[in-house]
Every structure is written in structure tokens, then in C-alpha cells.
Chain A
């Protein structure tokens, strides 16, 4: 019998190589098969907060939000972290706020109009999710019936944003 050295190549190298290669292919496919489905948030919401600086107490707000001919209406009674959607096909959105508030025990209603101008930029996420958009708030105009001040806290409205974008003071 011919004794082979440990590193002698003649012990079926092709079979050994193909087995190694097949194993490697399987590992690579398994590694790449882990990404499945979109797990990211794609919709970008503008976060707003209403803060009282005058001692008045807000009861509820009925908000009509429109851009061009489209619009939506929402009513809410919690005034922190209210999420609103801007129109990605336009460059401005108008909000009409019908507010119900109490001042020294008396109930009042009033309206304010807020016009938000912004630019829309696409953001590529990945091959599962596609894209989202970033709204960059450029300018804000508003009436001052109830609202006394409006602060742009963070001008970037992004899908995974945690910061408050607008702070309404009344």
C-alpha cells in the first residue's frame, strides 16, 4: 500500500472541492434568505403638540386638513403628539382648526387657519420597503384667534421621526 502524506492532494480532490463549494452555496443562500418583508414604517406623519400659555383649557379640536381639492377631517381631544399627514403630491397643506376651549369656566369656540409650505424629497429605504418621503417644512402662516404662537421645532417630517415638528401655543 502506498502511504500518502497528510497534505497529499490525490484523495479525490474534485469531490472534496465540490462538496466544499456546495456547502458554501447553501450557507450563502441561507444568509441572504433572512431578509423577508418590509418591517419599516413608510408613512411620514407630522407630529404636533398644543400647549396652553394663557391659562385657557382646550376641550376639543376639530381639524379639516386639505391640499388642492383633497382633504380630510379629524377630531381629537388629546393635545400632545397629534399626528397629521401632509400631502406628498403638493407643496402646501392648509389646516382649519375649530377649537372648543374653556376660559374661567366659560365655554368658547373659535377657528384658526394654518397654512404649511413644504418641499417633498423621496428617501429610498431598501428592496423590501421601497421608498418613503421626507417633508421639509419651509414656512408656516397662521391666524391668531386662539393660537398665539407656532414654533417649528423640527422642520423634517420623516417616517421614523420621534421629534415634535410643530408646537401650537394658545
Chain B
């Protein structure tokens, strides 16, 4: 049966490959670094005219991006993922307010089969259906008067909010004295989570209007509700509940 995961991967591959034949056929030679530098200096002067604070105008456009790493890993490796789209505005090439929205999913089975008390292997499952999340934040370009306007080096702060509902099934509890208790199910657990992310982002232009980039960040939860029967394994937009480092790989499209 054709799994939805493969559709996501095919879509990403199509997006990556869509510009390639034309680009590869151009066959132009690659310049050496001194030639690139000379070309840069020709285009944009290193020193700004006196009294001019910014090299770039007030509003420089919008870009949208999607994280392609999580869907890709979900297809081949992980049993959980967050699908995220982000929009970012450019002011003076220095300030970048951003907002993102997405959906997260998890259907994770314990992969090691726990040797639990009785010595039997027990596999339990954490299932969270597609659930929404949103993030808003602000990025700052540390090299805002750079002569390379299409490459960005940003630091950012984001706030995230998500809601998900999960079922946990086939749990076992055992102690040496009283033996094994189970299977236990914890159903319809509703979690609301707020968190913050602080990190850095790089955006590098690949072809006209299309850029790729990473963001690597530290994340920490502010509040999490609905944890009467334990914390969730997965939070949409945040990732595994116990993680504190986040990483995404984005494909950007510059709208104008």
C-alpha cells in the first residue's frame, strides 16, 4: 500500500530536483575566491556613505520556508515528526519578525522491548494524532550591512505553543516483590505546552528565489498542562519532550 510518508518524500525530492536540469546545463566555470571578492566590491561598496546607517531599504520582502528534515526522517527513520511552514519579513536586512504554523504526529513503539520485572519483553505505544502548533519570534541579522544580501546569519528567539492528545497503550509496571501489573492504557491525555527557543540560523541562496538553511537552537518548556498521568513523549513543534536541542533544515522561497 502507498504510505503517506512516501508522498511527502516524493514531494520534497521533486522540489529539490525541479530546477536541476536547467542549472546543470548552464556549464559555466566556478570563479576562484579572489574573483568573487572583486565582483562583490564592484557591486556594493564596503564602506557606506557618511550618515547612512543601513545599506538596505526599510522593507526588503518576505520569505516562506518549510522544514524538510523532520518529514524526511519521519519517512525513513523516526516515528514522529513536526511539519512546519514559516514566514519571515525582512526590515533593513537587520530585523526579521517570524511566525510559523505546523502539525505534529507521533506513533512510536518502544523499540528495545523492555525487560520488565518478569523478564518478559513488553512493547508499549505512544500515539498522538496530527495536532497543531504555532511559533512566533524575532531574528536579528548579525551582519546586516553585509555586501552579500542573499546570505543571512541570524540569531533568534521564538515562542511556541502546541496542543495534542495522546493514547499510551500496553504499559506494564512490575516490581520484584509483587510481580507485574498490566497491560495498562492511559487514553485521551490532552497536553498544552508552551516553550521558548533561542538559537542561530543560516540561510544561503542556492538558486534565484530559493535558499537553504539550518537553524540550531536551545529549547526549554515554560509550562505544560495535562500531565496528571505523566508527561507526553512527543510535543508537536517541540519534538521529544525531554530534548533541549533542536535542529531543522529549511528550504526558503523569497516571495519578493
Taking Cβ atoms with an 8 Å cutoff, the residues of A that contact B are 1-7, 9-14, 16-18, 20-21, 24-25, 27-29, 31-32, 35, 38, 42-43, 67, 70, 72, 85, 87-89, 120-128, 130-133
Q: How far is the CA of A126 from the CA of B172 in the complex (A)?
A: 13
User: Number of contact residues on B: which range applies?
Assistant: 35 or more
Whether the Cβ atoms of A130 and B16 lie closer than 8 Å is no
Segment at the A interface, from B3-11, B45-53, B89-97, B204-212: B204-212
Whether the Cβ atoms of B72 and A5 lie closer than 8 Å is no
Is B230 located at the chain interface by the 8 A CB criterion?
Answer: yes
In the A-B complex, the 3 residue pairs with the smallest Cβ-Cβ separation, listed nearest first, are A124-B230, A9-B207, A24-B249
Q: List 21 A-B contacts (CB under 8 A).
A: A6-B39, A7-B148, A12-B24, A14-B16, A16-B206, A16-B212, A18-B16, A20-B204, A24-B247, A27-B216, A27-B247, A28-B69, A35-B243, A85-B178, A89-B178, A121-B229, A124-B186, A130-B114, A130-B124, A130-B172, A131-B124
Q: How far is the CA of A140 from the CA of B212 in the complex (A)?
A: 64
Q: Which of A28, A38, A70, A127 has the most chain B CB within a 10 Å cutoff? A: A127
- Give the A-B contact count at a CB cut-off of 8 A: 155
- Which B residue sits closest to A88, measured CB to CB? B181
Nearest Cβ in chain B — how far from A158, in angstroms?
11
Whether the Cβ atoms of A21 and B35 lie closer than 8 Å is no
Given A35-B240, A130-B122, residue A88 in contact with residue B175 (CB < 8 A): yes
Whether the Cβ atoms of A13 and B19 lie closer than 8 Å is yes
Nearest Cβ in chain B — how far from A1, in angstroms?
6
In the complex, chain A residues whose CB is within 8 Å of the CB of B111: 127
In the complex, chain A residues whose CB is within 8 Å of the CB of B1: none
Q: How far is the CA of A121 from the CA of B97 in the complex (A)?
A: 45
Q: How far is the CA of A144 from the CA of B135 in the complex (A)?
A: 60
Q: How far is the CA of A131 from the CA of B114 in the complex (A)?
A: 11
Whether the Cβ atoms of B240 and A32 lie closer than 8 Å is yes
Given A13-B206, A32-B240, A127-B110, residue A88 in contact with residue B173 (CB < 8 A): yes
Nearest Cβ in chain B — how far from A160, in angstroms?
12
Whether the Cβ atoms of B178 and A25 lie closer than 8 Å is no
Q: How far is the CA of A3 from the CA of B34 in the complex (A)?
A: 11
Interface residues of B in 170-214 (CB under 8 A from A): 171-173, 175-179, 181, 184, 186, 204-208, 210, 212, 214
Q: How far is the CA of A125 from the CA of B151 in the complex (A)?
A: 43
Give which listed residue, A21, A87, A120, contacts B249 with CB less than 8 A: A21
In the complex, chain B residues whose CB is within 8 Å of the CB of A18: 16
Nearest Cβ in chain A — how far from B243, in angstroms?
7
Given A5-B39, A9-B206, A17-B206, residue A29 in contact with residue B73 (CB < 8 A): yes
